[in-house]
Amino acid sequence: MREQIDAIKQKFNEKLAALSTSEELEKLRVEVLGKKGEFTQILRSMGSLSAEERPLIGKLVNEAKEELEEKIRFVKESLKERATDAKLKNEVIDITLPGVKSPMGGKHPLMMTMEKIENIFLEMGFTIEEGPEVELDYYNFEALNIPKDHPARGEQDTFYIDDQVVLRTQTSPVQIRTIENQKPPIKMISPGKVYRSDDVDATHSPIFYQIEGLVIDKGITFADLKGTLDLFVKKMFGDDIITKFRPHHFPFTEPSAEMDGTCFVCHGEGCKVCKGEGFMELLGCGMVHPEVLKKGGIDPEVYSGFAFGFGLDRMTMQKFGIDDIRLLYESDMRFLKQFK
């Protein structure tokens, strides 16, 4: 039995000296030390030994196993180092080679416009508020003085989750939630995605972005509305932009208006973009309807306010001369890469 052990060790050392990969090493380990390995065979055959021989051979076998396992650990380490060195040698990095350019993304034109507008209102002391896109019918309609049977509901083809829950059709619910949680003075804008089940065409998308704003304090007048929105448009499109207001109607503002600005393409001469008008409609606005203030728990005898709203997509298309809203949502890099 002792010779047998030495023979195994001998053969093991020869094979160990001859191998060069960790796979071969693992194979040798299993051969000698594995469950069906040669040493295991010996241990299994110990039954045939005498009682006094058994512990001696047992000890011999275990010592031999430890010795071989130590050698395997050592060779495994040096094989790993050798493999790393080889890798390092082969992976010579030619630093003169041009780097692999990872394509730098760019801001989406909608986000560029959104940020520019947000910064203009932040500079004017407004806060930016956000709210849920899946909204309660109450916040999207009732609280805005648009009762159940109000025609405005029909106008805004609404996605109903159920008769109490809708996909918001405008960001005005954010203003209502703000009125409920903040006492005046309030100066805020609410940018965000809104949903209307419109058919997709060059100027309509079922999902688009809006920015609405609200100012409530004591003594707020239509002059504050005109001054604030006129300044916004001049900061957005240029100081030479002249604004004008046309009477309009919204259920949530009284009086209401639409604001036009001189076409920043033809500066009033009249062109394709402004359909020869020289002016283009920029946004809707008005003094907050007293019913809306009351519903929000604000006394219209003490406080007054103005609000406004516009489609961000439309303003982005005006700003960049984009004639099809679908370009903003189709993620076509030929289009988007122009806005780097």
Q: Kindly list the residues in this chain that would bind ligand 2U9 in the complex (CB under 6 A).
A: 170, 172, 175-176, 210, 212, 214, 250, 252-253, 283-286, 288, 292, 307-311
Q: Which is nearer to ligand 2U9, 23 or 180 (CB)?
A: 180
Nearer to ligand 2U9, 252 or 303 (CB): 252
Distance CA 182, CA 175 (A): 10
Full strand arrangement of the beta sheet holding 253-262: 127-128, 186-195, 207-217, 304-311, 279-288, 253-262, 243-250
Cβ-based nearer residue to ligand 2U9, 36 or 218? 218
Minimum Å distance from CB 288 to ligand 2U9? 5
Distance between CA atoms of 309 and 194, rounded to whole angstroms?
12
In whole angstroms, what is the distance from residue 6 CA to residue 291 CA? 102
Beta strands 186-195; 253-262: pairing state: unpaired
Sequence letter at residue 130: E
Q: How far is the CB of 175 from ligand 2U9 (least distance, A)?
A: 4
Nearest to ligand 2U9 of 8, 189 (CB atom) = 189
CB 328, min distance to ligand 2U9, A: 15
CA count, 13 A, side-chain hemisphere, 175: 33
**Is 220 within 8 Å of 305 (Cβ atoms)?**
yes
Nearer to ligand 2U9, 38 or 135 (CB): 135
The least CB distance from residue 143 to ligand 2U9, in Å, is 7
Tell me the residue number closest to ligand 2U9, measured at CB. 284
Report d(CA 64, CA 60) in Å as an integer: 6
Q: Tell how strand 134-136 and strand 253-262 pair up.
A: unpaired
Identity of the residue, 39 or 121, whose beta carbon is nearer to ligand 2U9 in the bound complex:
121
Instruction: Name the residue among 89, 181, 169 with its Cα closest to residue 127.
Output: 181
Instruction: Give the span between the Cα atoms of 208 and 252, in whole angstroms.
Output: 21
Smaller CB separation from ligand 2U9, 25 or 205: 205
Cβ closest to ligand 2U9, residue 126 vs residue 252 = 252
The minimum distance between CB 281 and ligand 2U9, in angstroms, equals 9
Distance CA 293, CA 289 (A): 7
CB count within 10 Å of CB 277 equals 15
* Shortest Å distance, C-beta 192 to ligand 2U9: 11
- CB of 155 vs ligand 2U9, minimal distance in Å: 10
Q: How far apart are CA 134 and CA 169, in angstroms?
A: 10
* Least gap, CB of 261 to ligand 2U9 (angstroms): 14
